[in-house]
């Protein structure tokens, strides 16, 4: 695995869990665990899946679902990985386009 993908995963986790004022890391475990798990899955999908070409999305979707199937708090939604990757890629493209116009 490329180191940049791991760095991306870690940076996303850091920004979503440590920097965000909406996450209380001192919360009780039953409340905090689903937040951490779902955030990790999102970051995993983005850092790894964001680099996969569209012909491999279905295979990646199946792989990720199997990987997290034993963890109730980390289950992939019924929308699928391909949908999440497409949405994230569209958001990044829009942000990049808008960013070019921001002074």
Kindly report the number of other CB atoms within 10 A of residue 2's CB atom: 10
Predicted confidence at residue 82, as pLDDT, reads 56
pTM (global) more than 0.85? no
pLDDT by 10s per residue, the chain, length 103? 578 888 888 888 888 888 777 778 888 888 888 888 888 888 888 888 888 888 888 888 888 888 888 877 776 665 555 555 555 555 555 555 555 444 3
Q: Position of tokens 């949405």?
A: 87
Planar angle of CA 65, 7, 67, nearest 5 degrees? 15
Predicted confidence at residue 70, as pLDDT, reads 81
Predicted confidence at residue 36, as pLDDT, reads 84
């Amino acid at each position: 695995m490329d180191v940049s993908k791991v760095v991306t995963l870690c940076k996303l986790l850091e920004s979503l869990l440590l920097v965000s004022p909406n996450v209380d890391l001192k919360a009780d475990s039953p409340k905090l665990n689903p937040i951490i798990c779902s955030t990790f899955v999102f970051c995993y999908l983005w850092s790894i899946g964001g680099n996969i070409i569209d012909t491999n999305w279905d295979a990646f979707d199946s792989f990720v679902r199997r990987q997290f199937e034993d963890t109730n708090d980390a289950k992939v939604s019924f929308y699928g990985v391909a949908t999440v990757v497409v949405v994230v890629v569209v958001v990044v493209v829009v942000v990049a386009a808008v960013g070019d116009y921001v002074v």
